[in-house]
Amino acid sequence: MNKNTSSIWGGRFGGGPSEVMERINASIDFDKRMYAQDIVASTAHCEMLVAQNIISADDGKDIVDGLGRILVEIEAGKFEFKTALEDIHMNIEARLSELIGDAAGRLHTARSRNDQVATDFKLWVRDELDALDSETEKLQATLIDRAEEHAATIMPGYTHLQTAQPVTLGHHLLAYVEMMGRDRGRIADCRKRLNESPLGAGALAGTSFPIDRQMTAKALGFEGPAANSLDAVSDRDFALEYLALAAIMATHLSRMAEEIVIWASASFGFVTLPDSFSTGSSMLPQKRNPDAAELVRAKAGRVIGALSGLLIVMKGLPLAYSKDMQEDKEPVFETADTMALSVATMTGMFSEIGFDEDKLLTAAKAANANAIDLADWLVRELDKPFREAHHISGELVKLAEEKKCGLEYLSLADMQSVDPGINETALASLEIEQALDARNSFGAPAPANVTVACAEARKRFLS
């Protein structure tokens, strides 16, 4: 063979690739992280070939033993990854040939790199989904712990970042537990949908060998083989769906991070950031910056960008496989790293962050957040239509603003000047603790509700 001929492509080519072609074509620098999935899938394929009498038992044993030795080499850091061999699949196959000789060439019988890559990538994404679910559960557990601790800690609830009604800190944190619950639901959905094996689909049209795709699917933990060989090798929905659920989850993490940034500001002062998740200033000695939260917030942009990028790669591809699809892995790998780091960061921050209960309570009492409680009292006690009660309560808020006091500090005479039917029991309804206790409808923030909700969240979300 001509020394310049590609060892991968064999007799079809008379010369090897240019240095530039070699660089643009190679993926080993990033896809080597799929080594474990490639070895386990190749082992399953080999064992099926032996079971179907496609290769001999002796060759099969040599191949499986050789793959095991390669796994040890890689995990020990003794494996040499070669760019000239393009990807993890050919690197492993070439090393297998060095170890066991010609028998290594039989491993690729009834298999193409197209179904091999798709299988390895699905296995890798499946493993990442399991890892992300586990780490998200830890974040939920941390949030539930803190919510239980602060089930009765009063804080302002906001709309438009304007104080709206009092809630509890526990209730607020449980809102994020619910978000994470939906994220984990999407993880489970994605895992279920991707769990079909592409192995055995070949380059695009299957194989003439009597393979057993059910056997390899079962060995690899798939529900079964993908039904259509063209779809099996060209499908990257699982990668897109992974990026989509990651983008939604990263958005949730970004919202959480944004609240930490706001709450840590001097204007709010709701939280004290732990040293372990803060930075200082090179110039200003008094600064404590919420850099960890800011970085989590920023990383959402990278994840959303990864989804957009792969959608654009896939949108114009005809069936079945095109080399464009090699661009699927880097955004997924980077997203997996980003999500693992972001979730761990939020778990760490919320486990250590300190809450200033006095400032939270003071803020909850500001801006006449009890106006709705007065309106509700007018409806309940004086049988007013809500729109009329809303108007009366609004007039009293205006009067309190003119007097530069809170609604609860208006005298009974002041209130009766707007509506003579108001009596002293209305004043009691304006006490923030009583108002909060009264909000005991399902899913509402009454402290007793929050305590129950924490227990229920543990049952629903924590294993």
Catalytic residues: 160, 281
Give residue for tokens 């609240």.
259
Residues forming a β-bridge with 158? 163
Nearest CA-CA partner of 37 in 334, 311, 232, 329:
329
CB contact at 8 A, 79 and 73: yes
Rounded distance between C-alpha atoms, residue 229 and residue 223, angstroms: 16
How many other β-carbons are positioned within 10 Å of the β-carbon of residue 376?
Answer: 19
CA 359 to CA 377: how far, in whole Å?
A: 27
CA-CA distance, 310 to 321, in Å (whole number)?
15
Nearest CA among 139, 126, 170 for reference residue 249: 139
Helix (H) or strand (E) holding 123: helix 113-149
* 8 A C-beta contact, residue 176 and residue 256: yes
Cα(288)–Cα(279) distance, rounded to whole angstroms?
Answer: 6
